[in-house]
Structure 1
Amino acid sequence: MREAFGDPRYVPAGVELRTDHGPQYTGADCAALVEKWGLVHTFAPVGRPTGNAVAERVIRTMKEEVVWLRDWEGADELREALLAWQHRYNTQRPHQALGWKTPSEHRAEKLGGGVERAA
């Protein structure tokens, strides 16, 4: 959150944290995070995979383009590769569903900020 918004006071009204019902999202830690940052916490419907389809699709793409491509020496090496992929995915790769904008460009338009801030 801090990387995305800097401080809770800069989070626009109505920003959602959409999650499944896993224990990491239903516990007190997550509730405290949601409250601190002023988020609206919504849960994907149980038993309906389409409720969280966008997140599941990003995870599939990440696995296809990074995780499954080779055997990794260790968690640190994989973590570094995933962070590099995440940066490319969000800042350099246009997405058809976003009108051929990068996620950073789309986010900046929606939040009214510069692309640098959104990246």
Structure 2
Amino acid sequence: MVKPSLRKEMAQQAVANRQVSIRLACAAFSVSESCYRYQALLNDENAEIAERLVELTELHSDWGFGQCFLYLRNVKGQSWNHKRVYRIYCELALNLRIKPKRRLKRQAPEPLKEPIKANQIWSMDFMHDQLSDGRCFRLFNVIDDYRREGLAIEAGFSLPTIRVIRVLNQLLEWRETPTVIRCDNGPEFISHEFTAWAKKHDIRIEYIQPGKPQQNAYIERANRTIRYSWLSKNLFDTLEEVQDYATQWLWFYNHERPHRANGGRPPLMVA
């Protein structure tokens, strides 16, 4: 089955090269005369959409169509129809190929408690990576679960309990004290210093069950975004470079990066 666009092109070639009338060419290739004479009116705008999509996918290689469209619609304020943007996205072959994963039968985890207001539940966790010279470093990430707002990304070769407490104290200088902090059972979080600090600020520590990271799903999803957005795509020479990049990216994450949990809007664009 030949597409109408190809039949139209064949009819145009017959008229141009073989001096056949338009009516005869349309009848021969089963194309209506209105289709033959139709000229697209939005070529310039389509070119702009294609240029925007190429720029976004080159800058954010981990973004698929949904993330690109939400960025153009909610951050840049473009009113282009999603079907039209998706058609151009496919024509440019920008589709991300996702390797299907084998489905495993797992026990149903405990339901994740969803906050109903800001500063109700904070989640925190650690990540690991290496510098260009092979030295290992860690990232300490903190988010507000309500709007998935990133609160802090602290980089360091060693992040003991005292560093964790220092970061949280800095957050409390400009944020309301959370009711609950959700974390795993790492040694930094179960230490006497940390539990005493939480008790002093009247904060309840909610530990997840060992081996159940889905119970801390909000920060685990944020860690995945950090990993694929910039941590695995860049090679840093010093810890200062990591911290500077993390600070700039955190501003972008909160102000410009669309988040599906917020209806396709960045965390700080949600009232």
Q: TM-score range by the shorter chain?
A: 0.7 to 0.9
CA shift, 1:32, in A, is 2.2
CA shift, 1:7, in A, is 7.1
Match of 2:244, SS state, is: helix
Deviations 1:58-83 (A, max 9, x none): 11110111111121111110111011
Match of 2:251, SS state, is: helix
Give the Cα separation in 1 of the matches to 2:253 and 2:205: 25
Paired residue for 2:227?
63
With the length of structure 2 as denominator, give the TM-score of the two structures. 0.35
Aligned with residue 54 of structure 1, among 218, 231, 235: 218
Check 1:61–1:96 CA distance in 2 against 1; reply closer, same or farther (3 A cut): same
AA at the equivalent of 1:51 = Q
Check 1:7–1:72 CA distance in 2 against 1; reply closer, same or farther (3 A cut): closer
Identical-pair percentage: 24
AA at the equivalent of 1:28 = H
Paired residue for 1:6?
173
Give the Cα separation in 1 of the matches to 2:190 and 2:207: 9
Q: Give unpaired runs (5+ residues) of structure 1.
A: 110-119
Paired residue for 1:89?
253
Bigger strand share: 2
Higher Rg of the two aligned structures: 2
Paired residue for 2:186?
22
Farther off after superposition, 18-27 or 61-70: 61-70
AA at the equivalent of 1:6 = E
Give the Cα separation in 1 of the matches to 2:237 and 2:249: 17
AA at the equivalent of 1:11 = T
Paired residue for 1:116?
none
AA at the equivalent of 2:229 = E
Deviations 1:19-69 (A, max 9, x none): 000000000121122123221110111121211121111111101111111
Aligned length, in residue pairs = 104
